[in-house]
Amino acid sequence: MKQSADHGMPSLSRRTFVAAAAATGAAAVGLAGCSPAAEKEPEKEASPEVVDPYANAQVFYTSCPPECQHHNLKAYVVDGEIVKVESSEMNDCSACARGISRSYMSKDPNRLTVPLLRDGEKGSGSFKEITWDEAFDLIEEKFRDAIETDGVQSICYVTGSGNFGSMHGPVATAFFAHLGGASTTVGSLCCAGTTAAQVPIYGQRFLDTRNQIEKSDYVIVWGNNPSISKQGYFQRFERVIENGGKVVVIDPIFTESASKASEWISPWPGTDAAMALAMIKVVIDEELYDKEYTLAHTCAPCLVDKSTGEPVLEDEADPASFVVFDAAGGEIVRHDKSGVEAALTLDGTSAADAYSTEFELIYAEAAKWDVAAAEAECGVPAADIERLAREYAQADRAMIIQNMGGFMRTENGTNAVATQLYLAALCGHVGHEGDGVSDAGGVNEVKTGAPIEVPKLDNTVPAIPRFRFGEAVLNEDPLKVNVFWSMTGNPMTQWPNTNMVRKGLEKIPFVVTVDQYLTSTALYSDLVLPVAAQFEHEDVLANHRSHWIQLCEKAIDGPGEVKSDFDIFAELAGRFDFGEAFSKPMEEMISNVLEPTGVSYDELVEQKAVDVVGYDYIPYKDGQFLTKSKKAEFWVAAWKKEGFSPIATYVRAEEDARNENELASKYPLFSVQRKTYRSVHSTFNNLEWMDEVCDVQPVILLNEADAESRGIADGDTVVVYNDRGEHRGIAEVGTRIKQGVVGLQNGWWEQQGGSSSYVTNDKWKTLGGTHCCNQTLVEVKKEA
């Protein structure tokens, strides 16, 4: 049965439903007991004709566009109001509560309906209503002043994962490029490690592996929780077990996914690269790797010059002209020459003194982490690491589910991703049915266009490190920020070291937040603009997080005077004399996005959503990687350029509870972030509709031993703190989390007690620019 949020029927809360169900059950039992003694069945009254409340409803389709699986949704509209939202027939499963809550959002009394101008201190929540004309006049004035005094780069804009539609982030990019090139931020809060590792090693990321999950025999869910973050197709993981396969969850928290898995492995946060290297050592030592696949489809046998530390090329002008040592001919030849017997190791050959193979370099890193050393560092029994390595390598079809896992939001995040990619390629578990490394894949296999042409700019504008945003703003380094434009995101709940983010927002003279609600970031803004929600504007979702291109239809007008992001930028474009670029009909702009895909606008209008990948799609099919060499390339030049090892390695992080230093002594607990059913990051978290079925305040997950030593009982109000700040919540005490680790829920708003990001690590710069929120040390105390 499809789930739906129904606003055509009387309101039924969770508590009312439980009471009604109990009463109905009692009545049924009573009638059953009396029936046998009755002399005659009472005459049945004619049942009243059942009226379908949606028989005359208009039906509209859209996508649920925040960072998730992008469920296709279907709305029923009666008399200009959405009365029900449900999962559309395009899905093979039901939409989650977040998706179906959109019928509630369309009439939520807490929605913003008019522009608001701050008339008190930032953070006070004191605003006054103004007209759109006044808002646009003020924006134009502040933009022109900023440009005149410190240049267009003093205008900084940021987008987030609150909406991946093409009329949001891409339109913002086009607008600010037409304006002359505003500044933005650098550093990804979620999947920088995947981008920094998978793109150079496999050639491309965001390739859709999700359809292969249920065909697998052995699935490692590494550091993520698909029961929540892949909720829309978690049944595919369950089918692996139903079919006789195995699902292993690696996570410091016994997550909802772990509760349904075959096995739970709990390493220390941030040690995943060491664990993967230990698995690689077992695989190589026991010769469990797929030698044929490794030689044919990876650069494992390719030579690296010992004197320069660089790969050897046959032709310096050709970056794909790697060379190998031909063991049969005893000479160095190009890697893709036919009939070559490439050597994985060079011991005893004439090439051994001058060169190493990439295989040897990987093994040198793995050799540091035999299972005993890995047990000591990772906190996982050596026998479990050995067994896991053997089971994975020997499985017929095996997958690693990364899905932007929390393990990559650490100092070693990029190395952790890379070592898993190494492991999969060496074992030959890439490019076949039921195997692969599952990223959050979508339509990256298919090129899409931009709705509006983005002009090329000659000037290079420095970017502000997102993790050190407040510090950069306060120090005016690398630039001075006069205007800050925030949309489709919520920095005050998501960005690390929130106290510094707040100070930065307080300093910036003019902060604009565009949102449906008065978010935590809006509280610290000078101007808040009410934006249209799904079913309230036209759009198309053609993003690399979903394998469907989806039409987003407008079903109703939004509340009050809300405008879409596109309409806001179109008005401003007119004021800055480049309005012609933003005056195209919506059909034309959607067609611009679709044009490279081969899907026509008319086709999309007719079908509502088009699967451009296909159910049987296999990334890197038959070992054909998307690098220049067409092989998995293990040595990464970009890492060396950044000053890091070009081969994945592991070094204990700066912020680790086992370090013998003052920081670890003062804050002896690891903390990790976890997602909730209630929200996607901070989106949906404020909805009163969610209060019926979800936590209504932050929950702090504690191991019973850690709680007991601190005098904390289940249900106590506690404070998690470090030098960066504090986060409050209700203690959940038990064995669901590794001793020495604290679990913090992501996404709570300032108005709900404050974000867990107040304490999170803001280290910069890490390899690949990974966020270190799961490499954070804290202490916990009972609220006084």
Domain assignments of the chain as residue spans, ordered by start: 4-32+52-105, 116-183+449-541+554-607, 194-438, 662-782
CA diameter of the chain: 103
pLDDT band of residue 49 (cuts 50, 70, 90) is confident
pLDDT band of residue 36 (cuts 50, 70, 90) is very low
For residue 751 the two structure tokens come to 């108005």
pLDDT value at position 47?
A: 66
Are 594 and 448 spatial neighbours (Cβ–Cβ below 8 Å)? yes
Q: What percent of the chain has pLDDT over 70?
A: 94
552 Cβ partners below 8 Å, 6+ apart? 61, 62, 63, 65, 165, 534, 537, 538, 539, 540, 541
Report the distance separating Cα 649 and Cα 368, nearest Å: 10
35 Cβ partners below 8 Å, 6+ apart? none
Alpha helices in 395-548 (DSSP H): 413-426, 469-475, 491-494, 498-507, 520-523
Q: Comparing C-alpha atoms, which of 709, 711, 713 is closest to residue 700?
A: 713
- pLDDT tens digits, residue range 749-767? 999 999 999 999 999 999 9
With a cut of 70, say whether residue 9 has pLDDT above it: no
pLDDT value at position 50?
A: 82
For residue 142 the two structure tokens come to 């502040």
Are 517 and 39 spatial neighbours (Cβ–Cβ below 8 Å)? no
Specify burial of residue 720 (Cβ count, 10 A radius: 0-12, 13-18, 19+).
buried
For residue 502 the two structure tokens come to 């707040």
Report the distance separating Cα 196 and Cα 615, nearest Å: 28
4-32+52-105, what's its fold? N-terminal domain of TfIIb (2.20.25)
With a cut of 80, say whether residue 46 has pLDDT above it: no
- pLDDT tens digits, residue range 225-279? 999 988 888 999 999 999 999 999 999 999 999 999 999 999 999 999 999 999 9
- Mapped onto helix, strand or coil, the DSSP state of residue 140 is helix
With a cut of 70, say whether residue 134 has pLDDT above it: yes
pLDDT value at position 44?
A: 58
With a cut of 80, say whether residue 28 has pLDDT above it: no
Instruction: Indicate if the alpha-carbon torsion angle 359, 365, 367, 370 is positive or negative.
Output: negative
Report the distance separating Cα 104 and Cα 342, nearest Å: 62
Q: Which residues pair with 541 in a beta bridge?
A: 550
The residue behind tokens 């003093």 is 154
- pLDDT tens digits, residue range 688-727? 989 988 999 999 999 999 999 999 999 999 999 999 999 9
Cα 750 from chain centre: 22
The residue behind tokens 């394998």 is 547
pLDDT value at position 41?
A: 45
Q: What is the DSSP secondary-structure string of 646-689?
A: SS------SS-TTS-SHHHHHS-EEEEEE--TT-BTTBTTT-GG
Q: Which residues pair with 331 in a beta bridge?
A: 326
Report the distance separating Cα 327 and Cα 345, nearest Å: 10
- pLDDT tens digits, residue range 170-192? 999 999 999 999 999 999 888 89
- pLDDT tens digits, residue range 357-395? 999 999 999 999 999 999 999 999 999 999 999 999 999
**Which helix or strand (DSSP H or E) is residue 734 part of?**
strand 726-734
pLDDT band of residue 43 (cuts 50, 70, 90) is low
583-622 as b/e, with b when 16 or more CB fall inside 10 Å?
ebebeebbbbbbeebebebeebeeebbbbbbeeebbbbee
Q: What is the DSSP secondary-structure string of 307-357?
A: TT-SB-BSSTT-TT-BEEEETTTTEEEETT-TT--B-S--TTSTTTTTEEE
Are 3 and 95 spatial neighbours (Cβ–Cβ below 8 Å)? yes
Are 90 and 59 spatial neighbours (Cβ–Cβ below 8 Å)? no
For residue 490 the two structure tokens come to 């919520």
Task: Tell me the mean pLDDT in the region 26-32.
Answer: 30
DSSP, res 6: E
pLDDT value at position 21?
A: 31
- Mapped onto helix, strand or coil, the DSSP state of residue 597 is helix
**Which helix or strand (DSSP H or E) is residue 128 part of?**
strand 127-129
CATH architecture of 116-183+449-541+554-607: 3-Layer(aba) Sandwich (3.40)
Residue type at position 635: W
534-556 as b/e, with b when 16 or more CB fall inside 10 Å?
bbbbbbbbbbbbbbbbbbbbbbb
With a cut of 70, say whether residue 38 has pLDDT above it: no
- pLDDT tens digits, residue range 260-272? 999 999 999 999 9
Q: Comparing C-alpha atoms, which of 68, 219, 210 is closest to residue 677?
A: 68
For residue 33 the two structure tokens come to 């007991």
Half-sphere exposure of 387 (CA within 13 A, CB side): 8
Task: Tell me the mean pLDDT in the region 588-603.
Answer: 97
pLDDT band of residue 313 (cuts 50, 70, 90) is very high
pLDDT value at position 20?
A: 30
pLDDT value at position 544?
A: 84
Are 710 and 780 spatial neighbours (Cβ–Cβ below 8 Å)? yes
pLDDT value at position 88?
A: 94
Are 724 and 497 spatial neighbours (Cβ–Cβ below 8 Å)? yes
Average pLDDT score over the chain: 92
Q: Are strands 72-78 and 58-63 parallel, antiparallel or unpaired?
A: antiparallel
194-438, what's its fold? Dimethylsulfoxide Reductase; domain 2 (3.40.228)
Decide if 116-183+449-541+554-607 and 194-438 have a common fold: no
Are 195 and 636 spatial neighbours (Cβ–Cβ below 8 Å)? no
How far apart, in Å, do the first and last CA atoms of the chain sit? Answer: 48
Q: What percent of the chain has pLDDT over 90?
A: 86
Task: Tell me the mean pLDDT in the region 147-152.
Answer: 98
Output the CATH code of domain 662-782. 2.40.40.20
661 Cβ partners below 8 Å, 6+ apart? none
- Mapped onto helix, strand or coil, the DSSP state of residue 519 is coil
With a cut of 70, say whether residue 616 has pLDDT above it: yes
- pLDDT tens digits, residue range 640-698? 999 999 999 999 999 999 999 999 999 999 999 999 999 999 999 999 989 988 999 99
With a cut of 50, say whether residue 400 has pLDDT above it: yes
